[in-house]
């Protein structure tokens, strides 16, 4: 993306990248770059509705709300909505912009802002202000669960291109798109996205998952954090795509060890992003990862990451079909 990273480890967008103390601690532990927690437009709408209904929005958003906002609640819903929404929006944005500029003043590593984009175009103006606040780059967090029976694959996928097209008009800093893998034709879509003017793709976001509580017979929350065995889908696709795209690839999901970092780099990733491992074990894993990567490089006589990055991308495999094998035939799995 044109960013100079001292190593390929990036702290993924999550609650841990939302405070200056954590941002500083990440840098002190040796992280290469940080993606800030996403600004969620949807969250602002939810806060506004909650506030109108019961006067109890998020304390951070409404703690210092002026009297005009407080009294507005009791009037006409639509008028109150737009008035309170505007307040919540500018307050949330101001806080986010302060986080960016303070992070830039505090640390030397690249700071990447993140916006969660939904089809509504309110966030366009956020992008420009984020650039002005000093962010080195922007990550667009776009996750379309294709669950609407009325929408075709083309309609869903067009949303990504429309968003990129709009953002390009507003900013000049490099921007990346962070995706899920629900695409009808993932290889072709990712390749086209990489040619649309973005500078990076983050593969893949791990969504909030729901589960079922069989005692309460109701929906519950799935595992919030990934496990260390969840990296294979990302690994496969980084390998398939890495030599075929026109932008950088950052690997995300299930990266919990230096070994997995090395695997992603061998598959062709330019960088890796991690969140769950920090929630589970703290930032102290970062120096361990760096030592692990260096030890492995020494053992294999590699003096720079470029010496081995992409060695096991699909295009460089002796048997490229192996990375696409999906059936458990006895020949490959050893199990009947
Ligand atoms: C608590 C939590 C909050 C997250 N918030 C965001 C977010 O605001 N924006 C985003 O793009 N991804 C968010 N993510 C997703 C992570 O950035 C990451 O892509 C995902 O967790 C997979 O990486 P991991 O296996 O290292 O956790 C969040 C993840 C967690 C666990």
For residues 84 and 181, the model is more confident at: 181
Distance 138 CA to ligand 1 centre (A): 16
pLDDT tens by residue, 27-71: 999 999 999 999 987 777 777 777 777 766 665 666 666 666 666
Q: Can you tell me the mean pLDDT for 298-302? A: 98
Q: What is the pLDDT of residue 242?
A: 96
Mean pLDDT of all residues belonging to the chain = 91
Q: What is the pLDDT of residue 59?
A: 58
Choose among 259, 225, 245, 278: nearest CA to 29.
278
Nearest 5°: the CA angle 22, 234, 266 is 90
Residues touching ligand 1 (Cβ under 6 Å) are 12-15, 37-38, 114, 141, 178, 205-206, 224-226, 252-255, 274-277
Residue 329 has pLDDT above 90, yes or no: no
63-97 burial, b at 16+ Cβ within 10 Å, e below that, comes to eebeeebeebbeeeeeebbebbbebbbebbbeebb
Q: What is the pLDDT of residue 334?
A: 75
Q: What is the pLDDT of residue 69?
A: 61
Residue located nearest, by CA, to atom 6 of ligand 1: 14
Which residues does residue 202 pair with via DSSP β-bridges, in sequence order? 178, 250
3-class secondary-structure state, position 105: helix
Q: What is the pLDDT of residue 78?
A: 73
Q: Can you tell me the mean pLDDT for 131-160? A: 95
| Contact criterion met (CB below 8 Å) for 225 and 279 | yes
| Per-residue CA distances from 253 to 1, 52, 93, 241 (Å) | 20, 37, 28, 16
Q: Quick one: pLDDT band at residue 134, thresholds 50, 70, 90?
A: very high
Residue located nearest, by CA, to atom 5 of ligand 1: 14
Choose among 222, 37, 168, 41: nearest CA to 114.
37
Q: Quick one: pLDDT band at residue 83, thresholds 50, 70, 90?
A: confident
pLDDT tens by residue, 262-277: 999 999 999 999 999 9
For residues 113 and 66, the model is more confident at: 113
Q: What is the pLDDT of residue 81?
A: 76
pLDDT tens by residue, 305-318: 999 999 999 999 98
pLDDT tens by residue, 168-215: 999 999 999 999 999 999 999 999 999 999 999 999 999 999 999 999
Distance 275 CA to ligand 1 centre (A): 6
């Amino acid at each position: 993306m044109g960013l100079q990273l001292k190593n390929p480890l990036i702290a993924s967008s999550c609650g841990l990248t939302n405070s200056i103390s954590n941002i500083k601690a990440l840098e002190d532990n040796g992280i290469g770059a940080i993606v800030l927690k996403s600004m969620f437009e949807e969250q602002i709408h939810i806060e506004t509705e909650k506030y109108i209904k019961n006067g109890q929005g998020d304390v951070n958003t409404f703690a210092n709300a002026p009297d005009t906002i407080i009294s507005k609640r009791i009037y006409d819903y639509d008028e109150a909505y737009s008035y309170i929404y505007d307040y919540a929006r500018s307050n949330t944005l101001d806080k986010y912009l302060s986080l960016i500029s303070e992070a830039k003043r505090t640390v030397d590593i690249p700071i990447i802002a993140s916006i969660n984009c939904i089809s509504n175009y309110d966030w366009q103006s956020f992008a420009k202000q984020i650039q002005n606040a000093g962010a080195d780059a922007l990550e667009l967090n776009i996750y379309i669960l294709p669950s609407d029976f009325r929408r075709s694959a083309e309609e869903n996928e067009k949303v990504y291109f429309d968003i990129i097209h709009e953002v390009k008009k507003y900013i000049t800093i490099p921007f990346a798109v962070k995706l899920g893998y629900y695409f009808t034709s993932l290889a072709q879509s990712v390749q086209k996205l990489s040619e649309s003017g973005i500078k990076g793709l983050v593969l893949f976001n791990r969504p909030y998952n729901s589960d079922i509580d069989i005692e309460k017979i109701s929906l519950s929350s799935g595992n919030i954090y990934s496990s260390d065995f969840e990296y294979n889908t990302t690994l496969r696709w980084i390998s398939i795509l890495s030599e075929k795209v026109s932008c950088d690839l950052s690997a995300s999901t299930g990266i919990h060890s230096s070994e997995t970092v090395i695997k992603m780099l061998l598959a062709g990733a330019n960088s890796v992003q991690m969140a769950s491992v920090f929630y589970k074990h703290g930032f102290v894993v970062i120096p361990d990862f760096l030592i692990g990567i260096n030890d492995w490089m020494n053992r294999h006589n590699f003096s720079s990451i470029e010496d081995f990055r992409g060695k096991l991308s699909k295009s460089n495999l002796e048997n490229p079909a192996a990375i696409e094998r999906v059936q458990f035939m006895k020949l490959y799995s050893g199990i009947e």
